[in-house]
Amino acid sequence: MEKKSVPFVPAQKKGGHTGAQHSVKATNRKEALQIFEDARKRLLNINRWQNICGSGSAEFRLTDKNGQTLNFVKPRIGNLIRIKLPAPKNQSGKGFDWVRIEAFKHTKDQLNDEEQYGFRVRPVQNPFEKDGESAHFYTSDASSTFLISRKGRILTAKEFGRNEIPNSNPQSLLNKIRNIIIAVAAMAGFAKPQWKKLMKGILEGNS
């Protein structure tokens, strides 16, 4: 994925950058509008992301700011996403990695027949301990941005990872090693198949 400047996506300043995307072409504008709306709903249904990604992927759960799981609720700024990786547990996050939804974007350009929707997340501390330490294998400098765009009959879903730096701050030596291994693997491309499946599923509805 390119690392050129993209509106709403943080500028790449340090560390690694990753991403994945998938595109489809609708047969007509009416179908394109329906695909966009269906994709938006799938993007917001975070609790079903694992079903889209398939076996062996991470498990995602939407929670409130205190870490309590939420069902059948539209995500909002301040909500957290609890991530259970198919990897050694994160001791800093009580077995999970945590990110916070920090911003949403929804734009329409009727003149050019374009529309875009998405949100951005960033690593945060464990909501049950709140010690200021990022409970994620990346530091809080990192971000992930999920965007669905439509230009006429062309629809694209993208994930942008920016400023990805391994989190070597945990007090536990084992957790430091765990974070570094997972972060390096993710930056090397091992996480891309999961994001690629998610982007494809969000557009095509294979959940």
Reported as a pLDDT band with limits 50, 70 and 90, residue 191 is confident
Reported as a pLDDT band with limits 50, 70 and 90, residue 1 is very low
Percentage of the chain beyond pLDDT 70 is 96
pLDDT digits (tens, 9 = 90+) for 30-82: 999 999 999 999 999 999 999 998 888 899 999 999 999 999 889 999 999 99
The residues pairing with 143 across neighbouring beta strands, listed in sequence order, are: 162
Beta strand segments in 40-195, E: 59-63, 80-84, 97-109, 114-123, 143-151, 154-164
pLDDT digits (tens, 9 = 90+) for 130-145: 777 789 999 999 999 9
The residues pairing with 144 across neighbouring beta strands, listed in sequence order, are: 121, 161
Mean pLDDT of all residues belonging to the chain: 92
Residue with tokens 């695909």, as numbered in its chain: 35
CB atoms within 10 A of CB 181: 14
The residues pairing with 109 across neighbouring beta strands, listed in sequence order, are: 114
- Give the max Cα distance, the chain: 56
| Alpha carbon distance 178, 10 (integer Å) | 26
Tell me the pTM.
Answer: 0.93
Phi-psi region of 68 (alpha: psi -120 to 50; beta: other; left: phi over 0): beta
